[in-house]
C-alpha cells in the first residue's frame, strides 16, 4: 500500500494545503519519504461535518454490524502485512518483536470490543415498569439505555504507534460505543498512521457504513489538534501524551461555548514499594527484574517504574547492587523522537546535578538518538523537600528513595500526585505492612499490583489504565480494557414512550436478548 502523505477525510484521500513535513527515521534522524501536508481548517471542518452526518446512522447500527466492522478493522490492519511493521520500525525506532506484539494487542483490542458490542451489556438497559395504581401518585414507565456521545477526536500517542494510536484503544472504544472518530496522527509516525488509517477507511467502505465514521488528519504542529477540540461537532477527546499537551487540550475543551470531556492519559512515575521481608529474601532478584522493566522500550512507557521506595538496610543495598550491575550492561536504545531524547537527557541531567541525588548507575552509552539508562538515589527527606524529584523523566531513569521506616514510605506515598500504577513487592510476612499502605495507594493510583511491574498493560475487562490527576484528566475511568467504552456513552431515559417508539434495547419483547435491570434487579433475556 503506497504511503501518499494525504489526509483521509471520509472516503477521500486528499493532500492537505498546510505546511509540509516528513517523518524522521528515529535511529538516524534522517527524513523519510514521502512529504506529508498538514490539514487545513477546511479539512478539519469537513472531517467533523462528515462525522456529524454519520453519527445518527452509525450509532444505531445493529450490534452485530458494529461488531463485524470492528473485526473488519482488525483484519484490514493485519492485511497491511509486514509493510506496517517495517515503516513503524523506521519511524519509531522500536524493534520488530515489540511492534509485532503491539500489532497483536491492537488487533486483539478491536476484537475484544467487538465482543463487548455483541454482548450489549454496555447499553445498561434498565426498565422500571409503570405502576398506574401506585398511591398517592402513579409511577410512569421509565426505561434507560446508554447512547454514544457523538464524534470523538483521538490523538495518537508517540510511544505506542499502534496500540495507542490511529486504531488504538481510544478509537476502538469510541467506535464500539457508536461514535465516529476523527483521528489526529502523531507526527512521530505519520506513515504508520496513514497505513492504519487506510485500513480503517477500507473497513468502513467494506461494511457499507457512512464515510464520516472515520477520518485521519495530519499535522506537525498543534493547530489541527486545537481546531479539532474546538469544533462544535466534536463531543469528546481521547489523548495519550505529555502533561503539557493533555492540560492544553483540557483547557481548550473547557473554554468552548459547550465544554466537552477530555480523556487524557498523561504523566506517571509509578511508585514501586519494596517491603522488608521480600527485600531480605530476594532483593537481588527483584533488582534484576526491575532493571528489565525500567529499560523495556527504552523506558518509554507511561507505566515505567520511575520511583522505588524502601526502608534502608542490607536488603535495599542488595536490590541496588543487583539493579545497578544489570543496568550498567544494558545497551542504550533508540528513542522515539529527537525531541523525546532531548527531554530525557535534560531530565537525567537535572537529577545528576541535584546535590541531594546520587547517581547509582548508568547504562552503556549509545549513539546520538539513544537513551542511556540511569538509576539515582536520594533520601525521603530530600524527596519530600523538592517537588521536582517527583516529576516524570520519560525514558529509562528511576529514583530510589531511601526511607527510615514504613511510616516514611507512607508519608512519601501520601505526597505523590495521582499515578497510573503502584507495585508492592512483598512476602507473606509483609502483609500487615501492605495492608497499612493499601488505603493510600487506592487513593493515589488506578492499578495496584503485587510482585511485578506495571509495564505491559493487559487488555481485559478488569483492567484500569487510569488514575487520579495528573495520571489522567479523569480518574473515574480507563483508557485500556472494556470499561473504556463508558467514556464515550451517556444515559438517556425514556418516560412513557409507546413500545413502537422505544429503541430495540428497551422494547417489551427484548429483541436484542439483553440482560436488563428490571426494577433494579438483573433479569436474564427470556426470563
Ligand X SMILES: NC(=O)C1=CN([C@@H]2O[C@H](COP(=O)(O)OP(=O)(O)OC[C@H]3O[C@@H](n4cnc5c(N)ncnc54)[C@H](OP(=O)(O)O)[C@@H]3O)[C@@H](O)[C@H]2O)C=CC1
Ligand Y SMILES: O=C(O)CCC(=O)C(=O)O
Residues in contact with ligand X by the rule CB under 6 A: 155, 157-159, 184, 186-187, 219-222, 225-226, 240-242, 245, 248-249, 265-267, 302, 340, 343, 394
148, 122 Cβ separation under 8 angstroms: no
161, 504 Cβ separation under 8 angstroms: no
CA–CA separation, 210 and 300 (whole Å): 37
Strand 20-24 relative to strand 31-37, pairing:
antiparallel
Closest distance to ligand X from the beta carbon of 342 (Å): 8
> Grid coordinates 477530555 are at which residue?
262
Residue 184 near which of ligand Y, ligand X, none (CB within 5-8 Å, type-dependent): ligand X
Beta strands in 327-391 (DSSP E): 333-334, 358-362, 370-371, 374-379
Residue nearest to ligand X (CB): 245
CA–CA separation, 486 and 174 (whole Å): 9
Closest distance to ligand Y from the beta carbon of 457 (Å): 4
Closest distance to ligand Y from the beta carbon of 303 (Å): 4
Neighbours of 357 (CB within 10 A): 20
Q: Looking at 41, 339, 456, 525, which residue binds ligand Y (CB under 6 A)?
A: 456
Cα-to-chain-centroid distance, residue 11: 27
User: Is 158 or 482 the residue whose CB approaches ligand X more closely?
Assistant: 158
Closest distance to ligand Y from the beta carbon of 173 (Å): 14
For this structure, is 207 an active site residue?
Answer: no
> Grid coordinates 412513557 are at which residue?
496
User: Is 32 or 457 the residue whose CB approaches ligand Y more closely?
Assistant: 457
User: Is 178 or 261 the residue whose CB approaches ligand X more closely?
Assistant: 261
Q: Looking at 293, 298, 303, 473, which residue binds ligand Y (CB under 6 A)?
A: 303
> Grid coordinates 487513593 are at which residue?
443
From the list 89, 26, 30, 94, the residue with the least C-alpha distance to 341 is 26
Closest distance to ligand Y from the beta carbon of 393 (Å): 14
Closest distance to ligand Y from the beta carbon of 301 (Å): 4
Residue 290 near which of ligand Y, ligand X, none (CB within 5-8 Å, type-dependent): none
First to last CA, the chain: 51
User: Is 242 or 324 the residue whose CB approaches ligand Y more closely?
Assistant: 242
Residue 174 near which of ligand Y, ligand X, none (CB within 5-8 Å, type-dependent): none
Residue 159 contacts ligand Y per CB under 6 A: yes
Residue 157 contacts ligand Y per CB under 6 A: yes
CA–CA separation, 26 and 337 (whole Å): 6
Residue 164 contacts ligand Y per CB under 6 A: yes
Count of residues of this chain found to bind ligand Y when the rule CB under 6 A is applied:
12
Given the residues 48, 302, 403, 417, select the one marked as catalytic.
Answer: 302
From the list 514, 485, 503, the residue with the least C-alpha distance to 60 is 503
Given the residues 71, 91, 211, 265, select the one marked as catalytic.
Answer: 265
Distances from the Cα of 350 to the Cαs of 94, 364, 391, 423, in angstroms? 26, 19, 11, 26
Residue 396 contacts ligand Y per CB under 6 A: no
User: Is 61 or 242 the residue whose CB approaches ligand X more closely?
Assistant: 242
For this structure, is 179 an active site residue?
Answer: no
H or E stretch at 8: strand 7-9
Residue 268 contacts ligand Y per CB under 6 A: no
CA–CA separation, 356 and 377 (whole Å): 9
From the list 484, 486, 503, 485, the residue with the least C-alpha distance to 494 is 503
User: Is 201 or 268 the residue whose CB approaches ligand Y more closely?
Assistant: 268
For the annotated catalytic residues, the residue numbers are 265, 302
Query: Using CB under 6 A as the criterion, which residues of the chain lie in contact with ligand Y when the complex forms?
Result: 157, 159-160, 164, 240, 301-303, 455-457, 465
Amino acid at each position: 500500500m503506497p504511503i501518499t502523505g494525504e489526509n483521509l477525510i471520509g472516503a477521500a484521500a486528499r493532500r492537505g494545503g498546510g505546511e509540509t513535513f516528513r517523518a524522521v527515521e528515529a535511529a538516524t534522524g534522517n527524513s523519510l519519504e514521502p512529504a506529508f501536508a498538514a490539514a487545513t481548517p477546511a479539512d478539519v471542518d469537513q472531517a467533523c461535518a462528515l462525522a456529524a452526518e454519520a453519527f445518527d446512522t452509525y450509532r444505531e447500527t445493529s450490534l452485530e454490524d458494529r461488531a463485524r466492522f470492528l473485526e473488519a478493522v482488525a483484519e484490514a490492519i493485519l492485511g497491511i502485512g509486514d509493510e506496517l511493521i517495517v515503516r513503524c520500525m523506521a519511524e519509531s525506532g522500536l524493534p520488530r518483536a515489540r511492534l509485532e506484539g503491539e500489532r497483536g494487542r491492537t488487533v486483539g483490542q478491536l476484537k475484544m470490543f467487538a465482543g463487548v458490542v455483541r454482548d450489549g451489556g454496555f447499553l445498561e438497559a434498565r426498565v422500571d415498569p409503570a405502576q398506574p395504581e401506585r398511591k398517592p401518585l402513579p409511577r410512569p414507565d421509565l426505561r434507560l439505555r446508554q447512547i454514544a456521545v457523538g464524534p470523538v477526536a483521538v490523538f495518537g500517542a508517540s510511544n505506542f504507534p499502534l496500540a495507542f494510536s490511529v486504531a488504538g484503544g481510544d478509537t476502538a472504544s469510541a467506535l464500539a460505543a457508536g461514535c465516529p472518530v476523527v483521528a489526529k496522527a502523531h507526527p512521530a509516525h505519520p506513515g504508520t498512521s496513514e497505513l492504519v488509517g487506510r485500513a480503517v477507511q477500507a473497513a468502513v467502505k467494506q461494511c457499507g457504513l457512512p464515510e464520516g465514521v472515520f477520518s485521519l488528519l495530519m499535522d506537525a504542529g498543534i493547530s489541527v489538534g486545537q481546531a479539532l477540540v474546538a469544533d462544535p461537532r466534536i463531543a469528546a477527546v481521547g489523548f495519550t501524551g505529555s502533561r503539557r499537551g493533555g492540560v492544553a487540550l483540557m483547557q481548550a475543551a473547557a473554554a468552548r461555548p459547550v465544554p466537552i470531556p477530555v480523556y487524557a492519559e498523561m504523566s506517571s512515575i509509578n511508585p514501586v514499594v519494596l517491603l522488608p521481608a521480600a527485600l531480605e529474601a530476594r532483593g537481588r532478584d527483584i533488582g534484576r527484574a526491575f532493571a528489565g522493566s525500567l529499560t523495556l522500550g527504552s523506558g518509554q512507557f507511561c507505566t515505567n517504574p520511575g520511583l522505588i521506595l524502601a526502608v534502608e538496610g542490607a536488603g535495599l543495598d542488595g536490590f541496588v547492587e543487583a539493579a545497578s550491575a544489570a543496568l550498567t550492561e544494558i545497551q542504550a536504545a533508540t528513542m522515539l523522537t529527537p525531541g523525546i531524547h532531548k527531554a530525557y537527557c535534560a531530565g537525567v541531567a537535572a537529577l545528576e546535578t541535584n546535590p541531594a541525588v546520587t547517581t547509582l548507575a548508568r547504562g552503556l552509552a549509545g549513539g546520538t538518538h539513544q537513551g542511556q539508562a540511569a538509576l539515582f538515589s536520594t533520601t525521603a527527606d530530600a524527596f519530600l523537600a523538592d517537588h521536582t524529584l517527583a516529576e516524570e523523566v520519560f525514558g529509562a531513569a528511576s529514583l530510589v528513595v531511601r526511607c527510615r521506616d514504613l511510616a516514611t514510605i507512607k508519608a512519601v506515598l501520601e505526597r505523590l500526585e495521582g499515578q497510573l500504577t503502584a507495585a508492592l513487592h512483598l512476602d507473606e510476612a509483609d502483609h500487615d505492612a501492605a495492608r497499612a499502605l493499601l488505603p493510600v495507594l487506592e487513593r493515589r493510583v488506578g492499578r495496584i499490583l503485587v510482585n511485578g511491574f506495571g509495564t505491559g498493560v493487559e487488555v481485559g475487562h478488569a483492567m484500569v489504565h487510569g488514575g487520579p490527576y495528573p495520571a489522567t484528566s479523569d480518574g473515574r475511568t480507563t483508557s485500556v480494557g472494556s470499561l473504556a467504552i463508558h467514556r464515550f456513552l451517556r444515559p438517556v431515559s425514556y418516560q412513557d414512550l409507546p413500545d413502537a417508539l422505544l429503541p430495540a434495547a428497551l422494547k417489551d419483547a427484548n429483541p436484542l436478548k439483553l440482560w436488563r435491570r428490571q426494577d433494579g434487579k438483573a433479569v436474564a433475556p427470556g426470563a
